[in-house]
C-alpha cells in the first residue's frame, strides 16, 4: 500500500489526452486567468450566446473592502442571455439534438430511462409554459422539493427559461424547514412529486409539502399552485410491486398533477432574455447564527464558471459518460448534475437511489452498466462503501473510469487511497474539489492531467481564483503555514448576495478581514505549495457532507420544554466525518433519561432533517462558560473527544464544571 505522504503523478494515459496535460500548462493558464481575467473569461464567454453583446468596459467590477463601501461583484453586467437557451437550444443547433443528455437510473434496477437534448428542450418548454400559465413571471421565485428524477432537472431549466428564480430545497429537509424557506423566498408556486423510494425507505414528499403548506398558511402565507409529479405509481417498489399513487391527497384548485398539465402544453417557449447579473437561482445554506442563508447566484458568471470547471476538472470529452451522485438539492447537484454538464453538451446520469440498494455494490454496478468515465461522489459514501470490502468493487468492470471526484468535506488519506487503488485501479486521477454553495463552483482542485496528487489535498486554485491564507491578525501567510482561507478577488460564480439580506452577506463574509471573501474554512500550505483544507473555523458542523450550524441544532434542542440550555459540538466519526455531540441542561421540569433523549432526537429530526440527528446527548447540569457567559465550545469539543488535554482554562468561570462533564461522559460516546 503506498504511503499517504507520497505524491501520485497523473497516469501517462490520462495526461496524454487531457485538456490540460502538464502542470506547466496549468500554471501558464492560471497566470493568464489572474493577470488578464477579461481576456481569459472573454474567450470562454464567446462560446456562449448573448442576446446583447458583452461590453468590455463592464466586463468585471467588484469591491471586497467593506471600509470602502458596499460589497458587490459584477461580471458581464448589461449583457443579456438565457442559460436554458445556452445549454439546450444551442446544443441542439450544434447538432447534439439526438445525444443523450441524461440517463436516469431508478432506485430499483429495473427502472431506467433517458432523455436526449432535443426531448429535454421540449419538456423544459412545456414546463416553462405551464409555469407561466400559473402566473410565474421573470424574477419570481419557484419552490422545488423533488427527488432525483428528470422532472427535477426539467423544472429548474423551465424556471431559468422564463427568468424565474428557482429555490430548491433538499427533499430530506423537514416540513418546518421547508416552510421557513418557502416564506423567506416568497414563492407562490411549488413543484414536487408524490414521493420516491430511497433504498427500502419511502419518502412521502407530497405529505411533507402538505405539512409545510399548512405551516405557511398558519402564518397567513399561501402557495397558489402546487404541481405534483406522480412518480410512485410508475416505478417499482422494493417489494417489486407498484405503489398505489391515488393515496396522495390533492387539494382542489391548488394541486395539479404534472401528467395532467405538462404534456398538453406547447413544446416551444421563447426564452426570456435576462441580464447577466439578474438572479438565476437561490439555494439555502446553513449559517452560524442558525437562520439559513439564501445564497443568490446570477446568470452570466455562473454559466461561464460552471461550464469551465466542469470541462477542466473532470476533463470531459464529447463521448464521455459522467456521473455525479450528489442530490440535486445541494449546490453540487445544481452545478455538477445540471448546469455544468449541460453547458458542455455532456451525457450524464441522474441516479435516484442509495449506494446500498439493492446491494452494497450498486455504485459499481451503475458505473459498469453505463461505462462511466467520470465519477463524482463524497468521502462519506467512500468510507461507507470501504467497509464492505474491495471484492464488491472487483465484481464489476470499472475500466472506463478516468477521473474520480470527491466533494463535501476533507477526504482522509485512507479513503483516498482506497478510492485510488480499488475504484481507480491506480490509473485514475482523483480530483478533491473544495468549494461551497457560495462559490458556485470548484475553487481549489487538482486537474486530472496536470496536478501530481497528494491524498487529502485540495491542492491548487482553479483558474481565476487567488487563494490566500491569513493569520488571526489578518496578515498574509506566504509560503508554508496554516490560517484562514480567504479570497481577495471574485471569480465569475461567486454568490452576489444573500436573499433579502445584503447586510448579513457583508457581515458574514467580508467584515472579518476587509478586502477578502472569507470562506469560514481553515487551510494549510505545505512546502510544495499544496493547499490542504483543514475544516470549518466557525461554529459549523459537517455531517456526511451536510453543513449545519451548531446554533441551528441548539435552538431546536432548547425548544423542548424540559431543556434550559444546550451546546452542540462536532465529534469525529469514522463514516460521517463528523457527528453531533450535544450537551443539554435540563430545567426544573426535566429529568434526563432515555425518554428525554429520544424526544430530543425526534425533535431535531422533525425540525431540521434526519441527517441532523444527534449521535450523543450528554446531561450537563452546568456548561463551561467564560466569565462573560460565553459557552466555551473549544472545551466541549475536548470533552466530546475524551481528550483531557484542555489547555488554558484561565477564562473559565467555574473549572469544576469541566471535571464533572468528563466524569459523566456517556459510555456510548
Tell me how far apart the alpha carbons of residues 149 and 304 are, in angstroms, rounded to a whole number.
26
381 or 623, CB closer to ligand 6R9? Answer: 381
Q: Of 451, 483, 482, 444, whose CA–CA distance to 465 is shortest?
A: 444
**Omega cis (within 30) before 358:** yes
Q: Write down the least CB distance from residue 284 to ligand 6R9, Å.
A: 10
Is there binding between residue 467 and ligand 6R9 (CB under 6 A)?
no
Exposure string for 306-340, b = 16+ CB within 10 A, e = fewer: bbbbbbbbbbbbeebbbbbbbbbbbbbbbbbbbbb
Among 116, 237, 400, 436, binds ligand 6R9 (CB under 6 A): 436
279 or 329, CB closer to ligand 6R9? Answer: 329
Distance spanning both ends of the chain, measured CA to CA: 32
Q: Of 408, 430, 407, whose CA–CA distance to 417 is shortest?
A: 430
Q: Determine the distance from the C-alpha atom of residue 509 to the mean position of all C-alpha atoms in its chain, rounded to a whole number.
A: 18
Q: Write down the least CB distance from residue 64 to ligand 6R9, Å.
A: 18
Would you give the binding string for ligand 6R9 spanning residues 530-569, x where CB under 6 A is met?
---x--x-----x--x-x----------------------
Q: Write down the least CB distance from residue 538 to ligand 6R9, Å.
A: 9
21 or 308, CB closer to ligand 6R9? Answer: 308
Phi, psi for residue 257 in degrees, rounded to 5: -75, 140
Give the count of beta carbons closer than 10 Å to the beta carbon of residue 273: 16
Give the count of beta carbons closer than 10 Å to the beta carbon of residue 414: 16
542 or 597, CB closer to ligand 6R9? Answer: 542
Among 21, 160, 192, 285, binds ligand 6R9 (CB under 6 A): 285
Is there binding between residue 412 and ligand 6R9 (CB under 6 A)?
no
* Alpha-carbon distances, residue 140 vs 136, 295, 547 (angstroms): 6, 16, 27
Residue 392: all three cell numbers together: 464488491
**DSSP type of residue 188:** -
225 or 519, CB closer to ligand 6R9? Answer: 519
Is there binding between residue 334 and ligand 6R9 (CB under 6 A)?
no
Give the count of beta carbons closer than 10 Å to the beta carbon of residue 629: 7
Would you give the binding string for ligand 6R9 spanning residues 87-126, x where CB under 6 A is met?
----------------------------------------
- 3-state secondary structure string, 355-371? CCCCCCCHHHHHHHHHC
Q: Write down the least CB distance from residue 493 to ligand 6R9, Å.
A: 12
Residue 84: all three cell numbers together: 436554458
Is there binding between residue 332 and ligand 6R9 (CB under 6 A)?
yes
Alpha helix ranges (H) inside 572-655: 594-607, 633-641
Is there binding between residue 331 and ligand 6R9 (CB under 6 A)?
yes
Q: Write down the least CB distance from residue 10 to ligand 6R9, Å.
A: 18
Tell me how far apart the alpha carbons of residues 209 and 541 are, in angstroms, rounded to a whole number.
27
Q: Of 484, 561, 467, whose CA–CA distance to 33 is shortest?
A: 467
- Sequence length of the chain is 669
Residue 463: all three cell numbers together: 483558474
536 or 633, CB closer to ligand 6R9? Answer: 536
For the residues of 224-273, what is the DSSP string, one character each?
A: -EEEEE--GGGSB-TTSSB--GGGS---TTTEEEHHHHTTTS-S--PPPP
Q: Write down the least CB distance from residue 462 to ligand 6R9, Å.
A: 12
Is there binding between residue 309 and ligand 6R9 (CB under 6 A)?
no
What is the total count of residues that contact ligand 6R9 (CB under 6 A)?
Answer: 23
Among 123, 315, 521, 554, binds ligand 6R9 (CB under 6 A): 521
Tell me how far apart the alpha carbons of residues 254 and 226 are, in angstroms, rounded to a whole number.
6
Is there binding between residue 491 and ligand 6R9 (CB under 6 A)?
no
151 or 521, CB closer to ligand 6R9? Answer: 521
274 touches 81 (CB < 8 A)? yes
Among 279, 294, 408, 413, binds ligand 6R9 (CB under 6 A): 408
Q: Taking contact as CB under 6 A, which single stretch among the options 84-92, 169-177, 431-439, 569-577 is the one that binds ligand 6R9?
A: 431-439
Sign of the C-alpha dihedral computed for residues 610, 443, 518 and 477 taken in this order: positive
Residue 311: all three cell numbers together: 470541462
Would you give the binding string for ligand 6R9 spanning residues 145-164, x where CB under 6 A is met?
--------------------
- Residue entry with cell 498574509: 476
Give the count of beta carbons closer than 10 Å to the beta carbon of residue 592: 18
Q: Write down the least CB distance from residue 335 to ligand 6R9, Å.
A: 8
Residue 440: all three cell numbers together: 458556485
Q: Write down the least CB distance from residue 313 to ligand 6R9, Å.
A: 12
Interaction residues for ligand 6R9, span 368-407 (CB under 6 A): 407
For the residues of 481-504, what is the DSSP string, one character each?
A: EEEEEEESS--TTS--EETT-HHH
Q: Write down the least CB distance from residue 453 to ligand 6R9, Å.
A: 13
Is there binding between residue 435 and ligand 6R9 (CB under 6 A)?
yes
143 or 485, CB closer to ligand 6R9? Answer: 485
272 or 409, CB closer to ligand 6R9? Answer: 409
550 touches 568 (CB < 8 A)? yes
231 or 293, CB closer to ligand 6R9? Answer: 293
155 or 285, CB closer to ligand 6R9? Answer: 285
Is there binding between residue 437 and ligand 6R9 (CB under 6 A)?
yes
Residue 28: all three cell numbers together: 501558464
Among 210, 352, 432, 578, binds ligand 6R9 (CB under 6 A): 432
Residue 109: all three cell numbers together: 434496477
Tell me how far apart the alpha carbons of residues 271 and 334 are, in angstroms, rounded to a whole number.
20
136 or 384, CB closer to ligand 6R9? Answer: 384
Is there binding between residue 509 and ligand 6R9 (CB under 6 A)?
no
What residue is closest to ligand 6R9 based on CB? 437
Is there binding between residue 434 and ligand 6R9 (CB under 6 A)?
yes
Q: Determine the distance from the C-alpha atom of residue 228 to the mean position of all C-alpha atoms in its chain, rounded to a whole number.
A: 24
Q: Write down the least CB distance from residue 406 to ligand 6R9, Å.
A: 6
Is there binding between residue 354 and ligand 6R9 (CB under 6 A)?
no
Is there binding between residue 458 and ligand 6R9 (CB under 6 A)?
yes
Tell me how far apart the alpha carbons of residues 257 and 610 are, in angstroms, rounded to a whole number.
28
Would you give the binding string for ligand 6R9 spanning residues 27-66, x where CB under 6 A is met?
----------------------------------------
Q: Write down the least CB distance from residue 485 to ligand 6R9, Å.
A: 9
429 or 542, CB closer to ligand 6R9? Answer: 542
In the complex, the residues that contact ligand 6R9 under the rule CB under 6 A are: 285, 330-332, 407-410, 432-437, 458, 519-521, 533, 536, 542, 545, 547
Amino acid at each position: 500500500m503506498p504511503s499517504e505522504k507520497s505524491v501520485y503523478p497523473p497516469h501517462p494515459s490520462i495526461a496524454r489526452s487531457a485538456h490540460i496535460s502538464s502542470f506547466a500548462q496549468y500554471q501558464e493558464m492560471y497566470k493568464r486567468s489572474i493577470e488578464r481575467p477579461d481576456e481569459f473569461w472573454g474567450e470562454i464567454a464567446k462560446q456562449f450566446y448573448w442576446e446583447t453583446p458583452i461590453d468590455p468596459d463592464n466586463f468585471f467590477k467588484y469591491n471586497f473592502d467593506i471600509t470602502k463601501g458596499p460589497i458587490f461583484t459584477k461580471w458581464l453586467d448589461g449583457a443579456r442571455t438565457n442559460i436554458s437557451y445556452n445549454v439546450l437550444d444551442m446544443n441542439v443547433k450544434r447538432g447534439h439534438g439526438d445525444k443523450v443528455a441524461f440517463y436516469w437510473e431508478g432506485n430499483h434496477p429495473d427502472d431506467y430511462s433517458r432523455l436526449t437534448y432535443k426531448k429535454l428542450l421540449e419538456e423544459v418548454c412545456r414546463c416553462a409554459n405551464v409555469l407561466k400559465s400559473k402566473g410565474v413571471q421573470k424574477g419570481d421565485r419557484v419552490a422545488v422539493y423533488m427527488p432525483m428524477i428528470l422532472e427535477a432537472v426539467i423544472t429548474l431549466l423551465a424556471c431559468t427559461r422564463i427568468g424565474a428564480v428557482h429555490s430548491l430545497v433538499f427533499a430530506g429537509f423537514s416540513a418546518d424547514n421547508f416552510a421557513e424557506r418557502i416564506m423567506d423566498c416568497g414563492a407562490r408556486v411549488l413543484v414536487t412529486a408524490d414521493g420516491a423510494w430511497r433504498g427500502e425507505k419511502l419518502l412521502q414528499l407530497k405529505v411533507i409539502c402538505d405539512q409545510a403548506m399548512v405551516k405557511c398558511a398558519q402564518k397567513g402565507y399561501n402557495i397558489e399552485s402546487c404541481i405534483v409529479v406522480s412518480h410512485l405509481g410508475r416505478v417499482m417498489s422494493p417489494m417489486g410491486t407498484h405503489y398505489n399513487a391515488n393515496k396522495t391527497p390533492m387539494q382542489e384548485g391548488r394541486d395539479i398533477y404534472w401528467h395532467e398539465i405538462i404534456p398538453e402544453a406547447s413544446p416551444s417557449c421563447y426564452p426570456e432574455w435576462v441580464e447577466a447579473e439578474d438572479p438565476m437561482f437561490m439555494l439555502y445554506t446553513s449559517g452560524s447564527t442558525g437562520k439559513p442563508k439564501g445564497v443568490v447566484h446570477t446568470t452570466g458568471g455562473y454559466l461561464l464558471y460552471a461550464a469551465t470547471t466542469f470541462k477542466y476538472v473532470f476533463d470531459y470529452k464529447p463521448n464521455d459518460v459522467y456521473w455525479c451522485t450528489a442530490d440535486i438539492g445541494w449546490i453540487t447537484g445544481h452545478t455538477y448534475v445540471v448546469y455544468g454538464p449541460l453547458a458542455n453538451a455532456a451525457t450524464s446520469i441522474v441516479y435516484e437511489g442509495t449506494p446500498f440498494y439493492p446491494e452494497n455494490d450498486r455504485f459499481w454496478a451503475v458505473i459498469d452498466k453505463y461505462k462511466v468515465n467520470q465519477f463524482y461522489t463524497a468521502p462519506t459514501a467512500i468510507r461507507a462503501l470501504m467497509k464492505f470490502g474491495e471484492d464488491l468493487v472487483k465484481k464489476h468492470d470499472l475500466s472506463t473510469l478516468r477521473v474520480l471526484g470527491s466533494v463535501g468535506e476533507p477526504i482522509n488519506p485512507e479513503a483516498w487511497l482506497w478510492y485510488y487503488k480499488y475504484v481507480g485501479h491506480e490509473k485514475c486521477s482523483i480530483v478533491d474539489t473544495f468549494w461551497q454553495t457560495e462559490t458556485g463552483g470548484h475553487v481549489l482542485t487538482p486537474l486530472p492531467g496536470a496536478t501530481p496528487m497528494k491524498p487529502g489535498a485540495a491542492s491548487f486554485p482553479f483558474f481565476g481564483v487567488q487563494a490566500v491564507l491569513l493569520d488571526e491578525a489578518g496578515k498574509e501567510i506566504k509560503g508554508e503555514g496554516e490560517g484562514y482561507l480567504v479570497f481577495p478577488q471574485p471569480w465569475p460564480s461567486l454568490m452576489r448576495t444573500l436573499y433579502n439580506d445584503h447586510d448579513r452577506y457583508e457581515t458574514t463574509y467580508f467584515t472579518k478581514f476587509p478586502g477578502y471573501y472569507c470562506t469560514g474554512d481553515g487551510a494549510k500550505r505545505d512546502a510544495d505549495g499544496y493547499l490542504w483544507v483543514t475544516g470549518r473555523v466557525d461554529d459549523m458542523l459537517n455531517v456526511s457532507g451536510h453543513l449545519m450550524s451548531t446554533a441551528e441544532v441548539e435552538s431546536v434542542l432548547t425548544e423542548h420544554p424540559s431543556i434550559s440550555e444546550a451546546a452542540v459540538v462536532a465529534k469525529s466519526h469514522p463514516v460521517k466525518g463528523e457527528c453531533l455531540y450535544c450537551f443539554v441542561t435540563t430545567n426544573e421540569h426535566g429529568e434526563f433519561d432515555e425518554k428525554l433523549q429520544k424526544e430530543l432526537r425526534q425533535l431535531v429530526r422533525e425540525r431540521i432533517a434526519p441527517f441532523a440527528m444527534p449521535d450523543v446527548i450528554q446531561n450537563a447540569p452546568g456548561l463551561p462558560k467564560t466569565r462573560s457567559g460565553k459557552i466555551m465550545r473549544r472545551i466541549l469539543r475536548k470533552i466530546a473527544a475524551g481528550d483531557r488535554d484542555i489547555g488554558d482554562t484561565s477564562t473559565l468561570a467555574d473549572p469544576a464544571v469541566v471535571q464533572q462533564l468528563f466524569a459523566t461522559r456517556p459510555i456510548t460516546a
